Structure 1
Amino acid sequence: MPESNENGNGYDFVVVANRLAVNHVTNEDGTTGWERSPGGLVTALAPLMESSEGAWVGWHGAADDVLEPFDHGDMHLVPVPLSSEDIEDYYEGFSNGTLWPLYHDVIARPDFHRHWFEAYRRVNQRFAEHTAQVAAPKATVWVQDYQLQLVPAMLRDLRPDLTIGFFNHIPFPPPGLFAQLPWRHSVLRGLLGADLIGFQRASDASNFRRAVHNRMGYYVEDEMIHVPLQTNAPDHGSPLAGFNADADRGTAVRVNSAPPAGVARLVEAKEFPISIDTATITALAKREDIIARSQEIREELGNPETVLLGVDRLDYTKGIRHRMKAYEELLQNGSLTVGQVCMVQVASPSREGVESYRLLKEEIEQTVGRISGEFDTLSHPAIRYLHHSYPIEEMVALYMAADVMLVTALRDGMNLVAKEYVAARRGDDGVLVLSEFTGAADQLRQALLINPHDVDELKAAILRATTMDSEDASARMENLRRQVVHHDVRRWATDFLDRLGELTGVVSVKG
């Protein structure tokens, strides 16, 4: 089990995530070591951990491997071991085969398997136990994302002295969709172990509160949920220790229209839109080598008048097929011509062992081949498809090289690519075409907002973006940049933790 800090009191601030804040790397000389992960979450929280005796609990990325806790820089890292079976059932199974498609509006069909949920419960319990061991008395614990939705209640049972926050990085579905989940009550009870539950959008927070009200019968007032204390006591006679699938079969729930009598915990569920490390992106966009690289990219594409760019993880939620269909039809009807325009699509590999992702990859590659074969010229490509992951320096160069950014996700918690594109613009040029089904659409209102399911609307937005008056484009981008600069990822973390610190967790409610 993990150890406490050198004073023996544990750590005052603990982050719990599926992955640790570091990646295992092999150096050029053959030695191995650790390097800090480049993601925005680590960037936001690392400074807070360094100044507050922080620890990070998560899986270190290697199955069937047990590591002792270790320090990296000023962070204490607590590896949670996962077996190959855990990865298959907890991560690839329940997290990404059940929750991911269900929470993304069933764009793909979710699968429901009891042994997947049992693995999910078992791994969540392991995360909770490691966290309980390493947290100082009255510490603040921040649990991250959909893979760990049972941890808050499990942790509260183990350590009721803790202040617990949870943030859901992906959408939360409407109650009608969420009701399909056989273990819906277990997930709701798990999340309600937190004092503060954060979501990307106000609609996601509302969906959660409505699900709690409808399924659990708890009184909900504005953003506050009244949780009777006895509901958090686990049923230790159950093989699932308070997260019994049998309890999820009931449908008759008495919905309370008034606060419960006696003592209840108040749990707040509200939106805290995440953002990016704006300072790093803007600094990279000023580097001479990256500026030169952006110009080189345009030359490699044959110096078209307009470069369209899509950057996505290869996932069925990202709307890549819809984007390519719209582009292909614009080429077919002559609204756009190769040489005038070129599309670049970066699709980083994702879950390649999953059948639905393998089929999506094949379909995208066939579409790219068809467009290239019909419209490429000797000097100008119609489309450049890049099935790779790239370092942030290359991504910033791509953002700077692109005149139009196409973000056409069918459903997305936030979509930080849209914000990265805005941050990378050195001037006030560039146009963002943005799906209204992304969390980013709530903040980036000056983008060209579209319904990606409507291919004609998407085509019209692409045409408008390629011909937009420079003054209109400049005014829009100036507004977008102001929003992204003022609301970066550090402000997101600070806003969440400040609010978490204000909550007491238990209140007396008069009957």
Structure 2
Amino acid sequence: MRLITCSNSAPAYPAPTDTVLRTGAAGGLVPHLLALLRDGGDWLFPVRGRDEPRWPDRIGPVRLRPVPVDETDRRAHYETISVELLLWLFHYLHDTVAEPAFDARLGRAWAAYRRVNAAVADRVPAAADPDALVLVNDYHLMLVPGMLSGRPRVVYAHQVPWCEPDYFGLLPAAVRREILGSLLACHSVVFHSTRWADAFVRCCERYLPGVTRTGETIEHPGGRTRVVAVPLPVDAAAVRALTTADRTGAWRTELDRMADGRRALVRVDRLDLWKNHLRGFAAYDELLRRRPGLADDVWLLAVVARPRHRTPRHLAYESACRAAVARLNETWRRPKGPDPVTLLDATDPADTRHRAIAALSTADVVLINPTYDGFNLVAKEAALASETSRILLSRTAGAHDYLAPLVTSLDPCDVDATATAMQAALDRPVALPDPPSARRLRTAIGADTSADWLAAVLGTPRTGTAGRDVHPTN
């Protein structure tokens, strides 16, 4: 089966001598697409017009199809619509006192978003190969499926949460219909969690006429669309290789030095607005207020990376995080003692994954407390990197539905309860074995592949057991 994938993300910029595609990301979508394209296919992604000629026609079995777009359109498509409207919408981040406001400026930006989507759709190879599968990825390209009318095999994969109908209603009626109508042109729409899939279906039922649901199928005036929840796999082989890599070992040695004999409470994430660092820091502060002696025994390590697009809100959030860490260290640092909290920045992007896996593999407790998350692959990586660390995970992360047997559940806004969960995890004996359901899940995580994911999306499951959302919770 020929695969044609469309994404806003791209492989690492190729060197002239490259014979295989490389990832420039620490994890997530790009490595997943690289795995899917291992046997060949086409990869479409928007680029600045002046960059297109510098991309080779293909690397290995993959044909690269960079899509040149006007720089003004590119910024409006990505920054104004994809990030500041849609990404914040799906994560419930709009301050509805003032935003969004669909005025002339936002109207022009929406037109640019439509033009970029049309440019990508126009580059999809002609229907000379009608059996090819077109995989469209994420909120940057939600109008592409509707522009590929007549292609029988189009799948849209949504990598972030989907919001409930009332919040989706912040968008104007015409925009709502354009997005939903486009996605229902797909053969399948896939999410990481049943909660996001159900929210999408409820939006379709609320805002489009003639929509009914039967199991995984939505029937609508244009036909039928499957809506499924299939968690994104983690590259278990890559995680295992990273765990034993020399650079990871060097980081582990450095982290052991910084820990200075203390147990490690670790978080690994970008400084995104929904990752909820501030409440995590507040919970640690509350824990130390209850048990001040833990300041000498438990080190909070926050391994962070900066988002690709840093809005003024991101800059203010980063500043608030740094101020919170400074206050904690000022309050709880013992004379001549080490800092109780460390905010460890990414310095070398090529080193990001080594540093992250080193932190996860040495953690006694891993804190993952986003307010909302489409999935959160760090939770899966934590399960593979160490079989003894305890994982604290928000109920509102998409990964929670799947990883429930392995984790302690958090309500992300409940600081007191998060502090209690931290304390219980730290007090749990290290030698206490996982229950059988958790052991089976660790095995499934290690066996799952991107090929299993695609088979489950298409309704042709393979042998992998982690290919569906098998532990739905509310």
TM range (shorter): 0.7 to 0.9
Structure 2 counterpart SS, 1:317 = coil
Aligned to 2:424: 464
Matches of residues 67-216 of structure 1 in structure 2 within 5 Å? 67=53, 70-106=57-93, 111=100, 112=102, 113-133=106-126, 136-156=129-149, 160-182=150-172, 183-216=175-208
Structure 2 counterpart SS, 1:18 = coil
Structure 1 residue 138: deviation in Å? Answer: 3.2
Matches of residues 355-366 of structure 1 in structure 2 within 5 Å? 355-366=312-323
Structure 1 residue 492: deviation in Å? Answer: 1.7
Aligned to 2:225: 267
Alignment CA distance shift 1:473-1:311 (3 Å): farther
Alignment CA distance shift 1:423-1:500 (3 Å): closer
Contact in 1 for aligned 2:266/2:302 (Cα 8 Å): yes
Q: Of the candidates 20, 23, 42, which is equivalent to residue 13 of structure 2?
A: 23
TM norm structure 2? 0.86
Counterpart amino acid of 1:283?
Answer: A
- Point out the structure with max Rg over C-alpha: 1
Structure 1 residue 341: deviation in Å? Answer: 0.7
Matches of residues 319-358 of structure 1 in structure 2 within 5 Å? 319-351=276-308, 353-358=310-315
Structure 2 counterpart SS, 1:283 = helix
Contact in 1 for aligned 2:153/2:187 (Cα 8 Å): yes
Alignment CA distance shift 1:272-1:464 (3 Å): same
> How far apart, CA to CA, are the structure 1 residues paired with 2:458 and 2:63?
19
Q: Give per-residue Cα distances to partners, 1:263-299, cap 9 Å, x unaligned.
A: xx21111211112101211233244663464244112
Structure 2 counterpart SS, 1:337 = helix
- 2:327 matched to 1:370? yes
Aligned to 1:236: none
Aligned to 2:409: 449
Alignment CA distance shift 1:412-1:94 (3 Å): same
> How far apart, CA to CA, are the structure 1 residues paired with 2:291 and 2:461?
55
Aligned to 1:8: none
> How far apart, CA to CA, are the structure 2 residues paired with 1:369 and 1:359?
15
Aligned to 1:419: 380
Alignment size in residue pairs: 444
Contact in 1 for aligned 2:145/2:185 (Cα 8 Å): yes
Aligned to 1:381: 339
Structure 1 residue 44: deviation in Å? Answer: 3.6
Alignment CA distance shift 1:119-1:333 (3 Å): same
Structure 2 counterpart SS, 1:373 = helix
Alignment CA distance shift 1:101-1:288 (3 Å): closer
Q: Give per-residue Cα distances to partners, 1:464-483, cap 9 Å, x unaligned.
A: 11111234464486355234
TM norm structure 1? 0.80
Aligned to 1:3: none
> How far apart, CA to CA, are the structure 1 residues paired with 2:309 and 2:332?
29
Matches of residues 476-487 of structure 1 in structure 2 within 5 Å? 478=439, 480-487=441-448
Alignment CA distance shift 1:272-1:319 (3 Å): same
Counterpart amino acid of 1:273?
Answer: P
Which 4+ residue blocks in structure 1 deviate beyond 6 angstroms?
Answer: none
Aligned to 1:395: 356
Q: Of the candidates 219, 223, 245, which is equivalent to residue 212 of structure 2?
A: 219
Counterpart amino acid of 1:358?
Answer: L
Counterpart amino acid of 1:163?
Answer: R
Alignment CA distance shift 1:479-1:292 (3 Å): farther
> How far apart, CA to CA, are the structure 1 residues paired with 2:441 and 2:329?
33
Q: CA RMSD in A?
A: 2.7
Contact in 1 for aligned 2:69/2:119 (Cα 8 Å): no
Contact in 2 for aligned 1:145/1:167 (Cα 8 Å): yes
Structure 1 residue 83: deviation in Å? Answer: 3.0
Structure 1 counterpart SS, 2:159 = coil
Aligned to 1:507: none
Contact in 1 for aligned 2:134/2:155 (Cα 8 Å): yes
Structure 1 residue 452: deviation in Å? Answer: 1.4
Counterpart amino acid of 2:232?
Answer: I
Counterpart amino acid of 1:210?
Answer: R
> How far apart, CA to CA, are the structure 2 residues paired with 1:121 and 1:288?
46
> How far apart, CA to CA, are the structure 2 residues paired with 1:95 and 1:336?
46
Alignment CA distance shift 1:431-1:93 (3 Å): same
Structure 1 residue 213: deviation in Å? Answer: 1.6
Contact in 2 for aligned 1:197/1:269 (Cα 8 Å): yes
> How far apart, CA to CA, are the structure 2 residues paired with 1:456 and 1:337?
16
Structure 1 residue 412: deviation in Å? Answer: 0.3
> How far apart, CA to CA, are the structure 1 residues paired with 2:253 and 2:128?
50
Alignment CA distance shift 1:50-1:362 (3 Å): closer
> How far apart, CA to CA, are the structure 1 residues paired with 2:35 and 2:402?
26
> How far apart, CA to CA, are the structure 1 residues paired with 2:138 and 2:364?
33
Structure 2 counterpart SS, 1:20 = coil
Structure 2 counterpart SS, 1:369 = helix
Alignment CA distance shift 1:17-1:288 (3 Å): closer
> How far apart, CA to CA, are the structure 2 residues paired with 1:169 and 1:283?
25
Matches of residues 304-323 of structure 1 in structure 2 within 5 Å? 304=262, 306-323=263-280
Q: Of the candidates 431, 438, 456, which is equivalent to residue 397 of structure 2?
A: 438
Q: Give per-residue Cα distances to partners, 1:306-339, cap 9 Å, x unaligned.
A: 1011111111101101000111222234355322
Structure 1 counterpart SS, 2:37 = helix
